[in-house]
Amino acid sequence: MKFRLRAIGLLSLVLAATTAACAGDEPRDAASDDAPLAAPTPVIGAYYAGWASSSYPVSRIPANKITHLFYAFATIQNGRCVAPGGADANFNALATLKRQYPQLRTLISIGGWGAGGFSDAALTQASRQRFVTSCLDTFFTRYRGSFDGVDLDWEFPVSGGPVEITDRPEDKQNMTLLSQEFRRQLDNLGRQRGAKYLVTAALPAGRLQTDGPYDPAASFDLRALGGVLDFINLMTYDMGTGFSSVATFNAPMSEVAEDPLGQPMRKWNNVTNAVAYYRQNGVPPERLVLGVPFYGRGFVVKQEGPNHGLYQAKASTFEVGAWKDIQPLLNNPAWKQYWHPVAQSPWLYNAAERKFASYENPQSIGIRAQFAKQNGLLGTFMWELSEDDASNSLLNAMSAPFR
């Protein structure tokens, strides 16, 4: 979260059975080959930031509105899994929530931006076995009843992550081997307990990272991972970050001709073509879950221009905050609202301060969710749950096509 099956017929059967199992459906009986396969249950996923639990406790999670919850983040120390702060209270609350909503699947997400240790932990067969065993001991034995799977958030194998984090050329293959080891050990545990445990991963779409132009296929064997993982959370956001030289969109829907980003990055640095790229690299659409951001990105531009800040040269960045923090700006006369018909995204511009804010609203998120549905993707997910408003406006828009 791969090995490549070369026989097309076998691949179809394996994918169908695995998808059905991850969604809680039984695979088709071998004796009823003519029976139609049940459609996989859609994923409506939510990342939950454990560090926000003081203001957004586990008990507040709208478990009736989501199917999968990804608890962020466990980390790696000395080649072993380490539970995050507040684990005892939050994980006990999570187990209680699961008893109240038995349809909810919960996963411990390991890693995140700035989290090191993956390259060393995945380096050898022995280190992978030791690391995965430590994760199972922690999250499926010590905290038994809290989790239904593991989500890998390695940012990133080989290149593109924070410069201070160790990476190696062999990381690409080792990510696949690590995912297979999680699959092997969790499947064994599941057979012992009569359970189906999930292995997923959050994989990138943004084409500008710490080392400059970035290609996800240089970090990940996408075709292989599409066969090992139950599904991939495709991070179709963070396409316009501080790595950009201009004020731009965080998650543009399509390629914008006026975007000065060089090719071939510009072609792929949007939601539509990010999905196309993963599909071209062998990931079936039914293994992809589309990501949407519940937060904004801010740029201070160097000088006033004709496009209300858009694609103007960046002087610096600023913190926009979450959707719930952006909403008050919508009624602030200093901030003017704009909409781009190709990017299918709104933005705000404060001319007096030369501040450009990219964000998503219920309309733009609804467009992305409908795209996911129409293109046969498994569902949608967001980063992250506590950044929504009190009415769950963004979550409702994100989930509507799949309900």
> From CA 148, how far away is CA 69, in angstroms rounded?
10
Structural domain that includes position 330: 300-356
Give the other-Cβ count within 10 Å of 290's Cβ.
28
Residue at 237 is within a domain = yes
Residues 195 and 53 in one domain: yes
Residues 42 and 56 in one domain: yes
Q: Which residues of the chain have pLDDT under 70?
A: 1-39
> From CA 271, how far away is CA 276, in angstroms rounded?
9
Residues 102 and 227 in one domain: yes
CA end-to-end span of the chain: 26
Residues 182 and 318 in one domain: no
Residues 63 and 145 in one domain: yes
- Among the listed residues 366, 212, 206, the one whose alpha carbon sits nearest the alpha carbon of residue 270: 206
Cα–Cα–Cα angle for 358, 362, 363, rounded to 5 degrees: 85
Residues 371 and 324 in one domain: no
Tokens standing for residue 183: 């699959």
Q: Within 13 A of 273's CA, how many CA atoms are on the CB side?
A: 16
Specify the DSSP class assigned to residue 123: S
Q: What is the pTM for the complete model shown?
A: 0.90
- Amino acid, res. 20: A
Q: Where are the alpha helices (DSSP H) in 101-170?
A: 118-121, 125-136
- Amino acid, res. 170: E
Residues 312 and 198 in one domain: no
Tokens standing for residue 31: 């004796």
Residue at 347 is within a domain = yes
Residue at 211 is within a domain = yes
Residue at 3 is within a domain = no
Residues 24 and 79 in one domain: yes
CB within 8 A of 133, min separation 6: which ones? 185
- Among the listed residues 170, 156, 169, the one whose alpha carbon sits nearest the alpha carbon of residue 115: 156
Residues 344 and 379 in one domain: no
To which residue do tokens 């998808």 refer?
19
Residue at 1 is within a domain = no
Residue at 151 is within a domain = yes
* Burial zone of 266 (CB within 10 Å; 0-12 exposed, 13-18 middle, 19+ buried): middle
Residue at 365 is within a domain = yes
Residues 343 and 380 in one domain: no
Residues 252 and 181 in one domain: yes
Tokens standing for residue 33: 């080959």
Count of residues making up the chain:
403
Beta strands 68-77; 43-49: pairing state: parallel
- Total domain count for the chain? 2
* Burial zone of 240 (CB within 10 Å; 0-12 exposed, 13-18 middle, 19+ buried): buried
Region of residue 282 (phi > 0: left; psi between -120 and 50: alpha; otherwise: beta): left
Decide if 31 contacts 181 (C-beta within 8 A): no
Question: What residues are labeled active site?
Answer: 155
Residue at 367 is within a domain = yes
To which residue do tokens 């209300």 refer?
308
At residue 268, the 3 state secondary structure works out as helix
* Burial zone of 374 (CB within 10 Å; 0-12 exposed, 13-18 middle, 19+ buried): exposed
pLDDT in tens, 294-349: 999 999 999 988 899 999 999 999 999 999 999 999 999 999 999 999 999 999 99
- Amino acid, res. 114: G
Query: CATH code at 72?
Result: 3.20.20.80
Q: What is the DSSP string of 181-226?
A: HHHHHHHHHHHHHT---EEEEEEE--SEETTEE--HHHH--HHHHH
Residues 210 and 277 in one domain: yes
